[in-house]
Structure 1
Amino acid sequence: MKKINWNNVRLVLILGIVIFLYSFSSKRNAERMMTQAEVEFTDSENFITKEIVNKLLIQNFGSITGIQKDKLDLNKVEKSIGKNPMVERAEVYATVDGKLKAIVTQRKPVARIFSGSQSYYLDHKGGKMPLSDNETARVPLVTGDIAKTNAKKLHELLDYIYDDNFLKKNIIGLSVLPGGNIVMQSRGYDYEIMFGAPINIDKKFKNYKAFLQDAVRDTLITNYKTINLKFTQQVVCTKK
């Protein structure tokens, strides 16, 4: 008579119990009712609020409370939040304890555009973004004949300013002249920065920073009317 291997029997029983408990736990988890929704933002901007996101959820799904976990279409929830013009993307998931978590990334404006009667933000991807009722972005104001300059190059210029801590704090305005050249205004100084066409961006700003260091050191900065960066080999200034 063949001897029973009790070790194998025990392993099979343990495996069966584990599978049963896992299936039971998964079924209970799927049938769990959602208890509440929590909204988190990945950034500090307040172009959209938690209250607005919660209203979007209610408008599309009614009360989240009481919805069975496995009946909730998370992809649909993400898309409903992502349709808001202030939102770049949303990630939604359900926790084990029945909470709906929404992680929201807001769009990042790099400039405010004034074009005719229109006023809107330009975001870091080059898309139009409406103004917010909740917060005003501290970004450069862009005015003038905006259609006369290369839109892609203008966006590269605005992105460059946004990504540079010094320029982001100090460049407060850009005017597009009829020929497509750009004039900038600086915070704290009343001179104009003649930038020219939005090309050779890195070189022009490096020249500007080097000039600024020397001018501030020599206390001559308040004597200038214009700072011309059009020529990449030198900075040309005119005095008041």
Structure 2
Amino acid sequence: MAEPVNKNVITRQQLKALGWMASLLLGAVVILAAVNHRKGSAVKGVEVDIKPLPNGDLLMQPVDVRELIHKAFGYEFESRSVRTVEIDRLERVLEKDPLVEDAEVYLDSRDFVRVSVTQREPVIRIIDKDGWNYYLDKNGKRMPLSKHFTARVVVATGSIPEYVSDYLLRERHLLRHLFLLSQDLRNDAFLNAMIGQIFVSSNGDFILAPMIGDQKIVFGKYEDAPDKIKNLKIFYREAMPYEGWRKYRSIDVRFRGQVICK
């Protein structure tokens, strides 16, 4: 006859399950205590990393980022409680700066606030007809000059109209054509290295000034830009080595399929 089962006896499997539950509960308590302890700890410092532009330029310095933070919050983060650090607000504050394209902020395991900044990339410097001086970034948006460094980009001067925020949407806007031309030059390794300035005449023609030689390149309007650039490169590649850089004072590519030199 089988012995009756004592329902009050805890089996080995049940003991094991209870042990696991106790371990999980203890772990949760430890983690919660650690989180609460960390929230009560103080920020030990702010570390700022600014990613250089492709050519190595730094248009802003870590001290500029710290000044932006202090101006927005009114205090230094060092020695303040970790729980008071508003990560999202801090990122928004930094991304409002016209030199900043993106900002990422986080608290590391050592209670340091880590700030990573991606700079906006200027592609052309504009000095317009009224003397306003600024950059256009790679997306065509206006950005101010840097107090630390002058970006090594093509400079445009002359009869350049006032900046308006929707100029890229205006098909015939001269500033739009100027920006597109600067992009064409920038995307060509040879011309990007050679052209240093664009002058806009009173009739809206573009005149390019090379880094080497004293000649001017009369580009004309932006119309047929790919054809003009192609002809200009052929001339520099095939004719200039034989004629020399100083022979011509003017190189005119305004007319389709032609390069007229004087």
What TM-score bracket applies, with the shorter chain setting the length?
Answer: 0.7 to 0.9
- What is the CA–CA distance in structure 2 between the aligned matches of 1:143 and 1:104, rounded to whole Å? 31
Deviation at 1:60, TM superposition (A): 2.8
Alignment CA distance shift 1:136-1:17 (3 Å): same
1:210 and 2:210 correspond: no
Alignment CA distance shift 1:24-1:155 (3 Å): same
- Counterpart selection for 2:89 from 51, 72, 76: 76
Alignment CA distance shift 1:29-1:222 (3 Å): same
Deviation at 1:205, TM superposition (A): 2.3
> Structure 1 regions of 5+ residues with no counterpart?
none
What's the counterpart of residue 37 of structure 2? 28
Larger radius of gyration: 2
- What is the CA–CA distance in structure 2 between the aligned matches of 1:90 and 1:213, rounded to whole Å? 44
Deviation at 1:149, TM superposition (A): 5.0
- Counterpart selection for 1:112 from 116, 122, 125: 125
- Bigger CA drift: 122-131 or 146-155? 146-155
- What is the CA–CA distance in structure 1 between the aligned matches of 2:158 and 2:147, rounded to whole Å? 25
What secondary structure sits across from 2:126 in the alignment? strand
- What is the CA–CA distance in structure 1 between the aligned matches of 2:79 and 2:188, rounded to whole Å? 48
**Letter in structure 2 aligned against 1:70:** R
- What is the CA–CA distance in structure 1 between the aligned matches of 2:175 and 2:61, rounded to whole Å? 31
What secondary structure sits across from 1:180 in the alignment? coil
1:47 and 2:59 correspond: yes
Please give the per-residue CA displacement for 1:92-131, whole angstroms capped at 9, x wherever unaligned. 1111111111111222222221222322222222222222
- Bigger CA drift: 130-139 or 143-152? 143-152
What secondary structure sits across from 2:42 in the alignment? coil
- Bigger CA drift: 42-51 or 142-151? 142-151
What's the counterpart of residue 99 of structure 1? 112
- What is the CA–CA distance in structure 2 between the aligned matches of 1:34 and 1:202, rounded to whole Å? 55
- Counterpart selection for 1:127 from 133, 141, 154: 141
What secondary structure sits across from 2:249 in the alignment? strand
1:58 and 2:81 correspond: no
- What is the CA–CA distance in structure 2 between the aligned matches of 1:101 and 1:200, rounded to whole Å? 49
**Letter in structure 2 aligned against 1:111:** I
- What is the CA–CA distance in structure 2 between the aligned matches of 1:185 and 1:83, rounded to whole Å? 35
Deviation at 1:8, TM superposition (A): 2.1
Alignment CA distance shift 1:16-1:130 (3 Å): same
Please give the per-residue CA displacement for 1:15-39, whole angstroms capped at 9, x wherever unaligned. 2233223222322333331110111
- Bigger CA drift: 176-185 or 153-162? 153-162
What's the counterpart of residue 253 of structure 2? 229
- What is the CA–CA distance in structure 1 between the aligned matches of 2:57 and 2:39, rounded to whole Å? 35
Alignment CA distance shift 1:162-1:28 (3 Å): farther
> Contact 1:29/1:96 (CA < 8 Å) preserved in 2?
no
- What is the CA–CA distance in structure 2 between the aligned matches of 1:48 and 1:222, rounded to whole Å? 40
What's the counterpart of residue 184 of structure 1? 208
Deviation at 1:71, TM superposition (A): 1.7
**Letter in structure 1 aligned against 2:62:** K
- What is the CA–CA distance in structure 1 between the aligned matches of 2:69 and 2:217, rounded to whole Å? 47
- Bigger CA drift: 110-119 or 197-206? 197-206
Please give the per-residue CA displacement for 1:152-195, whole angstroms capped at 9, x wherever unaligned. 22212212323433322211111112232211010112221122
TM-score by length of 1: 0.87
**Letter in structure 2 aligned against 1:214:** E
- What is the CA–CA distance in structure 1 between the aligned matches of 2:87 and 2:205, rounded to whole Å? 48
Alignment CA distance shift 1:11-1:56 (3 Å): same
- What is the CA–CA distance in structure 2 between the aligned matches of 1:130 and 1:206, rounded to whole Å? 33
- What is the CA–CA distance in structure 2 between the aligned matches of 1:235 and 1:187, rounded to whole Å? 23
> Contact 1:211/1:235 (CA < 8 Å) preserved in 2?
no
